[in-house]
Amino acid sequence: MRKNVKGFEIKHVILIIIVTAIITSITTGVILINRNRLLFGSSGLLNDSGINEFVKVYNSLENNYYGDFNKNEIIDAAIKGMLDYLGEDYSTYLNQEETDNLAEELRGQYKGIGISITEGNKIVKVFDNTPAKRVGIEENDLITNVNGTDTAGLSQVEIVNLIDKTKENVIEVDRNGEKHTYHITPESINYPLTRTILENNIGYIRIETFSNTVGEEFKKAYSELENKNMTSLIIDLRSNSGGLLKGAAEIANIFLEKGKVIYYLESKGKKEVLKDNTDEAKNIPIIVLVNEGTASASEVLAAALKESYGATLVGKTTYGKGRVQQTKKLEDGSMVKYTTALWLTPSEECIDEFGIQPDYDVQLEKNEEGLYEDTQLQKAEELLTR
């Protein structure tokens, strides 16, 4: 008689083992296939002879190279080499430090108390909704002491460096001869935009970069100037090298009528259009100041305001960066940045390598003392007061 194994015949046990092995093999194969799809995508890179050659060389170096090498660094060098091969300035590899610096710049925020001081200790601006504003610090206060250190004779940078960004600070100020002491804890603050009212109720807003918060900050600046009876506006984009495309679109949305084109994107085999989809619109004379350093997102905004709103451009021909980049963060904290499309103006013009010509070509000029005068700003004011 055949013996049973815990209620099963031996042939049944053997069958179970075989079926289990088959299921395990299939499951392992599916996992590996899915993993490879994640790594290589669905474009057949797994079977690409070039990729396989690269892997063979890497394995050969790892197993046979006589010296030691850093695996992360050699992979980084390979990635950088691929991007360098493209021969395009805008497709690049950024190490972790460069990636972190770019991310901080584009966040549009800094850790601080919300004041601006001159060379010395005078507070020239206290920004709204900041720790300094909430505790009662005022413009024209003189900072006399920070955390027990007398500020007499210190420079602006030295005074700023006395403020500890990680904890509560004790700051003493002189206000018209009276001493006031404040306890202030720094917070994350959006970079404010320079704004002011010039003569003849002309508003002025300068944009340094198109960060993640630039749209929000521009709205605040514009509203503040409106409350000061602004009747026309100068937007200064000189030497603004760009940033996030969405920032340019957010500002354009404030002014353009619904349905007006902001820009086109032209990539492999397709063209997309971004139009103003908001109900908000303005009807105020605008002059945009531009120069050779006005690039990328700055040019997008300048072109949108010129062609879809009717703004006037004053200054010099812009840089001419008509390409759009996509970024990909790598596991080690570094990043690759590569071009994915061209952007076109509302009239479907490509400004790449050509730039945008201003309506009024104005060169900065030196005065009798050899110092530059802002003749471009002067021209803008002149045009708005005609």
Pinpoint the alpha helices (H) of the chain: 10-40, 49-64, 71-85, 96-107, 131-135, 156-162, 214-226, 245-255, 297-308, 375-384
Identify the CA nearest to 289 among candidates 238, 252, 248, 251.
238
Per-residue pLDDT tens digits for 147-163: 999 998 887 778 888 99
DSSP-derived pairing of the beta strands 115-117 and 178-184: unpaired
Percentage of the chain surpassing pLDDT 70? 87
Mean pLDDT of 102-131: 80
Q: Identify the active-site residue in 220, 275, 316, 321.
A: 321
> Could you give the CA distance from residue 238 to residue 292 in angstroms, rounded to a whole number?
8
Is the whole model's pTM more than 0.85, yes or no? no
Task: Read off the tokens for 201.
Answer: 């109720």
Please say whether the structural domain 109-190 has been given the CATH code 3.20.20.70. Answer: no
Question: In the annotation, is 307 catalytic?
Answer: yes
pLDDT score of 17: 54
Question: In the annotation, is 133 catalytic?
Answer: no
Lowest mean per-residue pLDDT among 163-172, 351-360, 365-374:
365-374
Q: Are 141 and 180 in contact (CB under 8 A)?
A: yes
Q: Identify the active-site residue in 307, 308, 334, 381.
A: 307
φ, ψ of residue 48 to 5 degrees: the values are -70, 125
Which uninterrupted H or E stretch holds 267? Answer: strand 261-267
Q: Identify the active-site residue in 296, 298, 308, 334.
A: 296
Q: How many CA atoms lie within 13 A of 324 on its CB side?
A: 19
Q: Are 294 and 318 in contact (CB under 8 A)?
A: yes
Question: In the annotation, is 292 catalytic?
Answer: no
CB count in 10 Å sphere of residue 77: 12
Please say whether the structural domain 194-384 has been given the CATH code 3.40.640.10. Answer: no
Residue type, 133: K
E strand segments, 28-122 = 92-94, 109-112, 115-117
pLDDT score of 34: 46
Task: Read off the tokens for 47.
Answer: 């079977």
